Amino acid sequence: MATEEPREATSSAPDWHRQDARQTVEICGVDPDRGLSAAEAAKRLARWGPNRLPGGTQRSLWRLVLEQFNDFMVLVLLAAAGVSGLIGERTDTVVILLIVTINASIGVFQRWRADQALAALQGLAAPRARVRREGQWRSVPAEELVPGDIVALEAGDQVGADLRLIEVAQLQVDESALTGESVSVAKHTEALDGPQLMLGDRANMAFKGTLVTHGRAIGVVVATGSATELGKIARLLGEAGERLTPLQQRLADFGRRLTWVILGICIVIFVAGLLRGEPALLMALTAISLAVAAIPEALPAVVTVLLALGARKMVRHHVLARRLSAVESLGSVTFICSDKTGTLTRNRMHAERLLASGRRWQTQDAQAPEGFEPLLRAATLCNDAHRAPQGPAASGSDGRWRGDPTEVALVELAALAGLDKSALDAQTPRLAELPFDATRKRMTSFHRVGERILAYTKGAPESVLPRCNQVLGANGRPEPIDVAAWLADAEALAAQGLRVLALAQKEHAAVPGAPEPERDESGLTLLGLVGLIDPPRPEAAHAVRECRQAGITPVMITGDHPATARAIAHRIGILDDAREAVLSGPELASMDDDALRARVRAVRVYARMDPAQKIRIVEALQREGEFVAMTGDGVNDAPALKRADIGVAMGQGGTDVAREAAGLVLLDDNFASIVAAVREGRRIYDNIRKFVRYAMTGNSAEIWVLMLAPMVGLPLPLLPIHILWVNLLTDGLPGLALAAEPGEPDLMRRPPRPPKESLFAHGMAAHILGFGLLIAGLCLAIQAWALHSAQAHWQTMVFTVLTFGQLAHILAIRSETQALWRLGLRSNWPLLGTVLGTIALQLAVIYVPALNPIFRTEPLDVADLGLCLGSALLVWLAVEGEKAWRRRRTRGAASL
């Protein structure tokens, strides 16, 4: 056959699974017996390019740095640093610039790590491939594969490009990283019908990045590089934009509003002072000092510290935060879209139920009942699982047995009943076989058992049962078989999500010279049925219950079969009723975006999904106002992990691609760890709100003091140095110490925060204004009394009341509902230490003679100091009264 240029392997390419083998090689312009010539391969390589996945555009270091200064709040802080430098407050300038630099460094590092997701995807390319060129088999780098190449596959190979299979011998491929299905897929060469077939159903194709677990095959390359299914995932990963977290959205909104408010207030204070005859320079410095103080420059540092400490604590719960903002984001999650294989399940097949001659065995039982030995012997001997050449003497997936996961599960099951495959293979050697193929859906092996020749057949019930004319009875003797009844039993097991195998035997007088399926696989004696499943993780059901209790809806999205997905979802509590509807990939493909949005909140299980459909589901939920987390471990999950509001990848069983695309990584692959992450995220956000409540109430008090004093006929109550000192003293360490505040008792009984909820929701804005006004009122009352009493140190008293009032306030707001005496002062040692340290510094400013001229203060006598402390006590009592009112209102709402 003369070679010709293949058709475009892009949108205009044919559905390769619908073409037969002859049509495929004709379309690709290749003679399968000779392959491409070197010249033709070079020509096609020049046209199509190397067989590499798209790596995306790597952002330069300078671009990453500049992106960090695109935030409105950062620009405000830089302006504040400039103002501080102009008025000579070098300490404030250095602190603000240091905070901005630290935040920018963290942001650059996080963005650089995010750019590694596509680079990790490149690592899935097979390093070499066996390709036929000019009639000879050669080993070439996988990057040199081109459309039309004839490629050979055998067990252990990683598929180097998308292939249309043209010759198959017992080929089985592990496609779990691409499709999410845990069972190896048996392949064949027959053409398939239906353009909407999911990847897992395209049994005549082998896809780039998947692994051959059994058999051998020859295929023709139909797509390379970005045109492969793996390449399409890489494109999706590159196109998936990053969304701002709720915290980033709230801080950006907070910064914009705050700047305008501060600017207006400073202008009002400056003008009011001039109208009252105050010196212009003094009023300018006062207004500028107030602007610097009113901007909570410690906020970015506090947020960073809170998130970093939370991330550090989460590591102890086996959760790694790749992006600090992801820790807080979990507090807003309303839907968790979870992959099934390896996330909710163990990603390891397990034989769960056996039927044999009226007997049933649930393998959770400690010991197999009598009568199952013939079935187990057949499952062990008609089995191609083998011991690893090296490795620890352990079973299953940890080194002892290798092969198809289903066959490994059967060997492990037999071991529970005391049957060792190695010993049975030696006692009853295999003499011949009819290998499994996807058309027959069964395999047969012939063994010598003493003087007899026994053939064991294993396969799909619909393939094996019609070939049985008897069944092994409870007494060990053959009996007539009711095929319809056994088929009904098989269907009942399949409806429970089990993969069902039928096993049968037949005695032969001699080993068939050339085994023939029609002759040697008829007249069988049924031994029984085996139901297998990839079982749920033991902790998954409890984690799902906790998620639902916390108002989070867990959803399963898998590439597996609907019956299996439904069964697992029902077992772990995602579905309350095993009969609930499951939305399949083909059904979703036929729905437009509006139809999907109408159903997306109600659907709990999606089966037979491909990567692009996972993104459609995530986006549909987001358009409905939901805040979505996506968990997964495979390459197929990576685009959805990146597109979701927060991606959660598996650390042990997951791929590098999934981990790089995710914001959180579960180091123990334990779905239950998500609950710990949600709890920590909610605690962190609570503490951020507490800091904003505290800092802005103090700033509000300072603004009220300076605004109201002239209105009530009082002189300027504070000097610029006082404002800056209070700001430095109270906004710094006490605010940071809130990071250690324990979580509220009802943390995991609340519904998730609405993603668009304001940072100042639930009465916080009123609290800031009201209690700021209270502290300011106490300051002005003390000022008026001291002036009336002709106290020379009246300004020192106002300064001290403002400081102590804010410290009393921070102790009271440690909880929004619980009283301080219930919390106890020792439940947050860092905060208690910083409050005591701040009091000591304030007393030093008052009573150390060397500091009096610097801060324009005078020593207070005991009575005046007691008056300042009493004013702070009033602040604490007022906040405790507000919390008591909040508790009564909550109890009243609950009783309704």
Residue keyed to tokens 């979505």: 628
Contact assessment for residue 206 and residue 159, using Cβ atoms and an 8 Å cutoff? yes
Exposed / middle / buried, residue 60 (Cβ in 10 Å: 0-12, 13-18, 19+): exposed
The tokens for 597 are 């949005």
3-state secondary structure of 434: strand
3-state secondary structure of 510: coil
> In terms of Cα–Cα distance, which of 702, 769, 768, 705 is closest to 730?
702
339 among known catalytic residues: yes
Residue keyed to tokens 């019609």: 466
Helix runs in 469-626, H state only: 483-495, 517-520, 540-549, 562-572, 585-589, 593-599, 611-623
667 vs 650: CA distance, rounded Å: 7
Exposed / middle / buried, residue 308 (Cβ in 10 Å: 0-12, 13-18, 19+): middle
Quote helix, strand, coil % in the chain, to nearest 5: 50, 15, 30
Sheet holding 628-632: strands in order across? 319-321, 664-666, 646-650, 628-632, 335-338, 553-557, 605-607, 583-584
The phi, psi pair for 170, rounded to 5°, reads 60, 30
3-state secondary structure of 132: strand
Question: Which of the residues 149, 162, 174, 339 is marked catalytic?
Answer: 339
Contact assessment for residue 334 and residue 468, using Cβ atoms and an 8 Å cutoff? no
**DSSP collapsed to 3 states, 327-357:** HHHHHHCCEEEECCCCCCECCCCEEEEEEEC
The tokens for 324 are 């600090």
Radius of gyration of the chain (CA): 36
The phi, psi pair for 37, rounded to 5°, reads -80, 160
The tokens for 61 are 């270091």
> In terms of Cα–Cα distance, which of 719, 613, 563 is closest to 198?
613
The tokens for 239 are 């196109």
> In terms of Cα–Cα distance, which of 37, 45, 82, 178 is closest to 634?
178
Give, in order, the Cα–Cα distances in Å from 892 to each of 542, 761, 846, 895.
Answer: 31, 20, 47, 5
Exposed / middle / buried, residue 738 (Cβ in 10 Å: 0-12, 13-18, 19+): buried
Handedness of CA 503, 509, 511, 513 (dihedral sign): negative
28 vs 869: CA distance, rounded Å: 88
Give, in order, the Cα–Cα distances in Å from 625 to each of 204, 247, 601, 614, 629.
Answer: 41, 16, 10, 17, 13
Give, in order, the Cα–Cα distances in Å from 859 to each of 785, 863, 864.
Answer: 17, 12, 10
Q: DSSP letter for 171, please.
A: E
Contact assessment for residue 641 and residue 656, using Cβ atoms and an 8 Å cutoff? no
Contact assessment for residue 790 and residue 783, using Cβ atoms and an 8 Å cutoff? no
First and final CA of the chain: distance in angstroms? 82
Give, in order, the Cα–Cα distances in Å from 769 to each of 622, 699, 700, 775, 809.
Answer: 34, 10, 6, 10, 13
Contact assessment for residue 610 and residue 558, using Cβ atoms and an 8 Å cutoff? no
Q: Which residues are the active-site residues? A: 339
